Amino acid sequence: ALNPRDSDAYFYTGLIYTRLKQDEKAIKGYNKVIELSPKDVDAHYNRGLNYSHLKQDERAIQDFSKAIELDPEGADIYGSRGFSYAILKQYDKAIEDYSKAIELDPESADAYYDRGGEYSEQGQHDKAIQDFSKAIELDPESADIYNNRGFSYSILKQYDKAIKDYNKAMELDSEYFYPYKNLARFNVVHGNYESALENIKKALSLQPKIQYKALVLYYEFIAKKLLGMDTAKCEAALNE
């Protein structure tokens, strides 16, 4: 049995349950830590992460804010609170927190990537590209970052750069769905239907989530229709 006054034991219990993806039990452990040690920054931060995993982002923000109050130099805490603000579509607050995380840790690729994502969500693609480019400089092996920068380039009609980024994302992770989806869309829009079908075949082989699968099947339907090919299988799949 745990010593009822031993906050460390409860803290490590929280860590173990988090690693086991049992967030509710982890929260109970951190509740006890905070009861015994109200100024334990890590307990507030970790409990916030558990709430975030459970999609209870209002509670997560409360814990992250308390952790920031206790440790105003914690870059990761600002980054995590920014993520929760983003989930709640409070984009200005998210950007403010990501910016603070960057100020505290200018070498954080994640903070640049996350802020770039928020700029992209707001349609500020020039700023998004600046942040994604800095993130790539810091983490040149991330397929995610190349894919998202490619999307922003595509929106700005910088198509050669978009294609280059999508291809780089595929090179870094050949099993990563999103660049295949994005390149398929690009090729359909620009009349490169045979190339689109190659991208679509690969994208569907990666067993995407149902909403993305439907989107890719729609691209396949358009490409085949405009190539004069049989679309019966596409239509049947779309109607499943």
**Total Cβ atoms within 10 A of residue 189:** 13
Query: How confident is the model over 32-38, as a mean pLDDT?
Result: 94
The overall average pLDDT reported for the chain is: 95
pLDDT tens column, 58-115: 999 999 999 999 999 999 999 999 999 999 999 999 999 999 999 999 999 999 999 9
Q: Does the structure show a pLDDT above 60 at 27? A: yes
* pTM score: 0.89
CA-based nearest residue to 46, from 36, 55, 58, 33:
33
pLDDT of res. 6: 73
Evaluated on CA atoms 175, 216, 145, 102, the torsion sign reads: negative
pLDDT confidence of 1, banded at 50, 70, 90? Answer: very low
pLDDT of res. 7: 85
pLDDT tens column, 153-207: 999 999 999 999 999 999 999 999 999 999 999 999 999 999 999 999 999 999 8
Burial status of residue 92 (CB atoms within 10 A of its CB: 0-12, 13-18, 19 or more): exposed
pLDDT of res. 174: 95
- Half-sphere CA count of 121, side-chain side, radius 13 A: 15
**Total Cβ atoms within 10 A of residue 234:** 20
Evaluated on CA atoms 18, 20, 24, 28, the torsion sign reads: negative
Q: Does the structure show a pLDDT above 60 at 2? A: no
Query: How confident is the model over 122-127, as a mean pLDDT?
Result: 96
- In whole angstroms, give the CA distance from residue 84 to residue 114: 11
Q: Are 124 and 143 in contact (CB under 8 A)?
A: no
